[in-house]
Structure 1
Amino acid sequence: MSDGRVKATPPVAEDTRLRLTIIGGYLGSGKTTWLRHQLFEGVFGKAHIIVNEAAETPVDDTLLSAQASGMTMLAGGCACCTGKADLVEVLRRLCDARTSQRAEERTQGQIILETSGLADPASILDAIRQDGVLVHHIRVTEIIVLVDALNASDQLRTEYLGRAQIEAADRIIVTKADAVPVNILGRVAATAQTLNPAAQIMAATKGQFVPLQDFSAALPFDLPVISGNEPVVPTKIDIGDDVDWATFSVWLSALLYARGADLVRVKGVFRTPAGPILIQAVRKSVQPPELLPQEAAINQNKMIFIGRGYIGDDLGRSLDFFAS
């Protein structure tokens, strides 16, 4: 029988686990460009950045390190499969470092994981949940997946991974929104919503959010059943000092024209007299070169090619023959 007194509600314990945001998206979707802008705007505060690249020679760490409180590079394998053990080790190390701090010095730390374009965020989430240490020290707050508006139609029709990434997202950001007509942008958003009805869908251009018009009447792309594809693999070529910028740019244009459907992604930093230039291409579309600060010299003249249906050594021989 109640005595009429209101019982005090016990206080809810504060969740002091490290917060982890996973940023995914297919090759060339603009993850680094978007994240650079968010870090510059202070959206994630003083975050520790983990960058995962499937290729052994990283590029994105140079572009992100200036705005990060800490940086860890995982190169040479996807964090969802071949690089999973390395990711777990890094996350455990970050947890240990925070635990060693005195309780009054701890803040609610933030980790950002920029995944490889070949990674499935759902597999990374599973790895954290299945690890007896990480599950108690890390809270995955959001999975953000970027979708390339310019190439989404082809990618989602042919690449199962592109669909799986969208299906794992809490929030979907359609990038390069200014590069396609409004009706195509609407179809990309509608297709993403079909694949993941629960996700929030937004649009961005060059890392900045832009309005996304109502797409409720847009028709999603017809997505056929995908049979087994030849795997997409990364390869690296070192560009010799005898190859100048003009020669390389003409060779790359010819290569993308002939093999753009096979080369899903090209990325690297080229040394020029004016300074290091960031080169990025998605299939046959080359982004305008970006002049980087001199400290980006660490991996200059190392270009990463990611695709299928070619032998990596052939690319180097092709460039050498063209430059001779």
Structure 2
Amino acid sequence: MNSPDQRLPVSVITGFLGSGKTTLINHLVRHPAMGEAAVIVNEFGEIGLDHTLIEQSDEHTILLGTGCLCCTVRGDLVETLHDLSIRRHKGEVPPFKRVVIETTGLADPAPILHTLMSVPVVARYRLDTVITTVDAVNGAATLDRHGEAVKQAAVADRLILTKTDLADAATVGNLLERLNGLNPAAKTIEAVHGKLDPGALFGGHQFTTETKTEDVRGWLSEEAYGDHDHDAARPDVNRHDDHIRSFCLTFEAPLRWNVLAAWLDTLAGKHGEKLLRVKGLVNVEDIDEPVVVHAVQHLFHPPARIAGWPEAHRRSQIVFITKDLSCSEVEDILARLEQALGEPLETGGPPAKQRVG
């Protein structure tokens, strides 16, 4: 009789930019069943805004701010998992029973999965489930334009279809048919606003390549035999598209909502397909609470207030992840709009932006 597997299960939540990973995790960490889970968060760039927006349930939420979870961050992932195991053994952290890793939306999942399946240092863990969020509104276009999104969908055990309330039935049906072609073995679950019971996502098996397509097995084999030397002649399968940029605009004074809304609407109208993600925490004139703004391509979600400011300062920060759209172009659109409206975005004087990225 085989003894029970004592290794800690690890679930990987992946999905392209703006597909709903953060929303899903925000709901999961509030669920009583997730009280004994350690959550590892990763993001694109060096800006900690995603960590701000993930409402940390306890000390188990860990921010990795070094970039995508691919070979450039592989050591950090291994070190983090090893450190968590040691601290758990010493009683320095509560005895978590599951680890959840959120990847950046730009991550190629193959290096992450290969690490969890093969690196000796993480032998205390087992890869349990791969969960991929797919945006029902933009999903088909994202699959057309971004190879990472195709890989993310193809490796999944669970495909979480988000924003179905914003898409018509024909769009959802066509996307489901396409996802079934990419990954016929995956279970597809619809989630509105990220609301899912953890029991529908985790547990019950160990990740295996046996149910995956030949393409997936090939990607993982490349990782097994690749040397991950970025200077080698072999193409770097983990390299991001050179056309993708990440930058943050910071504003010190409160913002005029009418100017902010007009700016974001103009960006979506003129360059929606280039806005991979816009996410910001902003200080709006005459509103005490911070306001979250969030957009993916042409779709801007309704602004939402959150309970309080995470920092003593109340400066606004808006993070842009774009393709073939520079920071200066985004700033130029704002400047022209301010001139047309006859008032600046910031109250109390002319714009005073700080750029990061």
TM-score norm. by structure 1 comes to: 0.82
Give the unaligned 5+ runs of structure 2: 198-239, 339-343, 345-349, 351-357
SS of the counterpart of 1:50? strand
1:312 aligns with 2:327: yes
SS of the counterpart of 1:296? coil
What's 2:142 paired with? Answer: 155
Aligned Cα RMSD in Å?
A: 2.5
Q: Aligned partners of 1:133, 1:161: CA distance in 2, in Å?
A: 27
Shift of 1:113: 1.0
Q: Which moved more, 1:76-85 or 1:195-204?
A: 76-85
SS of the counterpart of 2:184? coil
What's 1:165 paired with? Answer: 152
Shift of 1:229: 6.1
Q: Which moved more, 1:180-189 or 1:80-89?
A: 80-89
What's 2:233 paired with? Answer: none
Residue of structure 1 aligned with 2:5, choices 6, 15, 20? 15
What's 1:200 paired with? Answer: 187
Q: Aligned partners of 1:101, 1:37: CA distance in 2, in Å?
A: 27
Residue of structure 1 aligned with 2:82, choices 73, 77, 92? 92
Show CA shifts across 1:70-90 (max 9, x none).
Answer: 111112410124333222221
Shift of 1:242: 6.1
Q: Which moved more, 1:61-70 or 1:111-120?
A: 61-70
Show CA shifts across 1:285-319 (max 9, x none).
Answer: 10001101114347851111111112224434543
Q: Aligned partners of 2:88, 2:36: CA distance in 1, in Å?
A: 14
Shift of 1:191: 1.0
What's 1:4 paired with? Answer: none
Judged with a 3 Å threshold, the aligned counterparts in structure 2 of structure 1 residues 66 and 77 are, in CA distance, closer, same or farther, namely closer
Residue of structure 2 aligned with 1:143, choices 112, 125, 130? 130
Whichever residue aligns with residue 282 of structure 1, its letter is V
Whichever residue aligns with residue 50 of structure 1, its letter is I
How does 1:108-187 map onto structure 2 within 5 Å?
109-134=97-122, 136-187=123-174
What's 2:213 paired with? Answer: none
Whichever residue aligns with residue 132 of structure 1, its letter is P
Judged with a 3 Å threshold, the aligned counterparts in structure 2 of structure 1 residues 300 and 163 are, in CA distance, closer, same or farther, namely farther
SS of the counterpart of 1:24? strand
Shift of 1:320: 5.0
What's 1:251 paired with? Answer: 263
What's 2:225 paired with? Answer: none
Shift of 1:269: 0.5
**How many aligned residue pairs are there?**
294
What's 2:301 paired with? Answer: 287
What's 1:225 paired with? Answer: none
Judged with a 3 Å threshold, the aligned counterparts in structure 2 of structure 1 residues 117 and 78 are, in CA distance, closer, same or farther, namely same
SS of the counterpart of 1:207? coil
1:303 aligns with 2:318: yes
What's 1:217 paired with? Answer: none
Shift of 1:23: 0.4
Q: Which moved more, 1:142-151 or 1:310-319?
A: 310-319
SS of the counterpart of 1:208? coil
Shift of 1:204: 0.9
Q: Aligned partners of 1:283, 1:261: CA distance in 2, in Å?
A: 5
Greater Cα radius of gyration, structure 1 or 2: 1
Question: What percent of counterpart residues are identical?
Answer: 30
Shift of 1:32: 1.1
Q: Aligned partners of 1:90, 1:315: CA distance in 2, in Å?
A: 36
SS of the counterpart of 1:261? helix
Q: Aligned partners of 1:109, 1:308: CA distance in 2, in Å?
A: 39
Whichever residue aligns with residue 101 of structure 2, its letter is L
Conserved? CA contact 2:245–2:326, under 8 Å: no
Q: Aligned partners of 2:50, 2:254: CA distance in 1, in Å?
A: 26
Whichever residue aligns with residue 151 of structure 1, its letter is N
Whichever residue aligns with residue 269 of structure 2, its letter is Y
